Amino acid sequence: MANLQDIRRKIHSTKKTQQTTRAMKMVSAAKLRRAQERITQARPYARKINDVIHKLAKSHKLEHPLLGHPEEHGKALVVVLTSDRGLCGGFNNSVIRHAGNFYNQNKSKYSKIDFLFVGRKGADFFKRQKGIEPVDVIYNLVTDVGYKLAADISERLLQYYLKGEYTEIRIVYNEFRSAISQIVRDEVVLPLRSKEDEESENIDFVFEPDAYVILDQLLTKHFAVQVYKCLQESVASEHGARMSAMENATKNAGEIINQMTLSYNKIRQAAITTELIEITSGAESLKG
C-alpha cells in the first residue's frame, strides 16, 4: 500500500497539472473566438471575388493558365497545414494520416509528389517516419496569421505552378466545424476550376484596362484568398482541438484527484483506527 506522503505528493502534482491544462483551455477559447471572427470577416471578400470571376468568365470566353483541369501523371505539391506545437488532440494526427494515405495510394499516379508543410509537427513526422524531406516548412502560423502571410505563401505556390515545377497543388487542412469537430479537407487549389453554374445576369461592362488583365489579377487574388481561408480554418481548428483536448485533460485530472483523495482519506482513517486500538489495548494491559 502506498504511504500517505506519496499520495499527498501525487495529489499535489496532479493539481498543478490541472491548473496548467485549465489555463491552456481558457487561452485557446479566447484565441478561438478571435479566429472565428476572422473567418466570418474574410467571407464577403471571398464571395465577391468569386462572383466577379464568374461574371467575367461568363461574358467572355477567357482562357487563362491558372484555369483548367490537372493533367494526369503530373507533378503534385501537397501543402499540409499542421501546428507548431502539440497538446491539441487529434488535430495533427488526422491531417498527417490523410497526407500519408494520399502519398501511398497515389504514388503511381503521379510522376512526383512533394510536400510543403506549414507547422513543425507535420514536417517532423514525415522526416522521421517516412524519410521524406519537405520542399519547405513555414513556422509561426498561429502567431502571425494576417493576410500578408497568406499572400506570400500563395505567391510562392503560384511561382511553382507557373514555372511548371508542379502541375497540381493541393492543400490538406482541418476545416473548422465546431470546437469539438474538425474535418480533414483535401482540396486541389491549382489549377483553379472554372465553375459553370447558375445563370447570373449578363451586364455589358466597360473594362479598364481590359478583361484579360482584370481576370489575371483577380485570379491571383482569388487564389491568395483561398489560401488565406485554408490557413484561417486550420488555425481555428487548432485552437478548437486544443480547447477540447485541454477540457478533457482538466476533467480527467479532476477524476484522478478525487480517487486519490478518497484513498488518501481511507488510509488516514485506517492509520488512526490502528493507533487508537494500540492505545486502548495498551491501557487494558496496564490495568490487568
- Return the number of the residue (15 or 148) whose C-beta is nearest other proteins: 148
Residue range at the interface with other proteins (CB under 8 A); choices 68-76, 142-150, 156-164, 251-259: 142-150
Q: How far is the CB of 62 from other proteins (least distance, A)?
A: 13
The stretch near other proteins (CB under 8 A) out of 101-109, 155-163, 198-206, 255-263 is: 198-206
Alpha-carbon distance of 103 to 190, in angstroms, equals: 18
Residue 213 is a binding residue for other proteins (CB under 8 A) = yes
SS3 113: strand
Contact between 1 and other proteins per CB under 8 A: no
How many residues touch other proteins under the rule CB under 8 A: the total is 30
- Closest distance between other proteins and the C-beta of residue 143, in Å? 16
Residue among 151 and 260 whose Cβ is closer to other proteins: 151
Please report how close the Cβ of residue 101 comes to other proteins at its closest, in angstroms. 32
In angstroms, the CA 267 to CA 234 distance is 49
Q: How many residues does the chain have?
A: 288
| SS3 at position 232 | helix
CB atoms inside a 10 Å sphere around CB 31: 18
Query: What minimum distance in Å lies between the beta carbon of 153 and other proteins?
Result: 13
Which of 193, 111, 114, 195 is closest to 157 using CA atoms? 114
| Strand ranges of the sheet holding 136-138, from the earlier edge strand across to the other edge | 136-138, 112-118, 75-81, 168-176, 182-190
CA angle 159, 77, 240 (to 5 degrees): 105
User: By rule CB under 8 A, what string of x and - marks binding of each residue 28-67 to other proteins?
Assistant: ----------x--xx-xxx-xx--x---x-----------
| Residue 228 binds other proteins, judged by CB under 8 A | yes
The answer to whether the Cα torsion of 37, 38, 40, 41 is positive or negative is positive
Strand-pair partners of 285: none
Which residues sit at the interface with other proteins, rule CB under 8 A? 38, 41-42, 44-46, 48-49, 52, 56, 146-147, 150-151, 203-209, 211, 213-214, 217-218, 221, 224-225, 228
